[in-house]
Amino acid sequence: MTGAPPLARARLDRAGHRRSDPHWIESVWPSARLLRVDSSVGTALFRDVVTGDAADAAVGAVLSLVLSGTAGVDPASAVFLGVEPDGVAVFAVDGPLPAEPGTRPANLRDVGHRLDDRDAGLLTTALALLNWHARSRFSPATGQPTTVGDAGWSRADASGNQTWPRTDPAMIVLVHDGVAGPEGRCLLGNNATWPKQPGFRRFSCLAGYVEPGESAEAAVTREVEEEVGITLDRIDYVASQSWPFPGSLMLGYTAVADPAQPLKVDPAEITEARWFSRTEIHGLLAGESIDLGTPEEPALMTLPMEVSIAHYLIRTWAGL
């Protein structure tokens, strides 16, 4: 698989030096573009692309993010995202989406992989920032209410204690056997906390948060040992992407392990873990089915959503 993970793509100049310049922010506001986001459900408005040319063929973009003017909107309610190549500033505002003919709401989880680089970067940044604001209305140091500063990139309480947007690092790893070709295998698990889908069972990479005082690579080793009870021979960094649900940075790795090791699944974390061949993964990605259930209770295997870095890691390992 070529290119960056779906939510690691952006074309916007973040223009960080402008955030602390209220006069500049005020001067560009009347002509700025506005992205309306409902962060409570992670949605924005889109139009379907009807031309034959996708905006980004690498990810098959078929949707276009809707931006509007700023007329009638209180600038104090908006956060500054950056400046587009044509010099126009872009802001985002949180709230219910308006009804607009020819548009439809969609969730970033569902359509992020179908957006071009510009739209993917805009919506990912807006959601991450707005979700941080929703969680940061009070100072963690004093408990006092906070107000917005730096055009949406900081908050401060009445005593002047400032906080800035937080991103929580998490690792995700595709464990494989290091074997090339169709017989090579990867290890995927079904997470115990995922909502049950009758008739289906989703398998994905192993993942977890990086703990205080821990490196990302150490977290990979620890999480794999905790969740499935095996040791790793080699760990390789692949790529990262934002996961603004509500505010993580996913650090993507592959790791080599010996499939002869017995799997010792922690039932609090993983309901089931299995090794799958590259041939099986190719089939799943091509729309074929693997039934992991019983005749009495079928359970068709599914892979993680296409917008996730887990899907990216699996496709990359599969050579697609």
pLDDT value at residue 320: 82
DSSP string for 197-220? BTTEEE-B-EEEEPPTT--HHHHH
Q: Report residues of the chain scoring pLDDT below 50.
A: 1, 53-60
pLDDT 10s digits, 143-162:
999 999 999 999 999 999 99
CATH class of 168-318: alpha beta
Q: Which residues pair with 37 in a beta bridge?
A: 44, 94
pLDDT value at residue 2: 59
Tell me which amino acid residue 157 is. Answer: D
Q: Cα–Cα distance between 273 and 263 in angstroms, integer?
A: 8
pLDDT value at residue 50: 57
Provide the whole-model pTM. 0.93
Domain boundaries of the chain, sorted by first residue: 6-135, 168-318
pLDDT value at residue 248: 97
Rounded to an integer, what is the distance from CA 21 to the centroid of its chain?
30
Question: b vs e for 200-221, b when ≥16 Cβ sit within 10 Å of the residue's Cβ?
Answer: ebbbbbbbbebeeeeebbebbb
Q: Cα–Cα distance between 221 and 194 in angstroms, integer?
A: 22
Q: Which residues pair with 156 in a beta bridge?
A: 147, 162
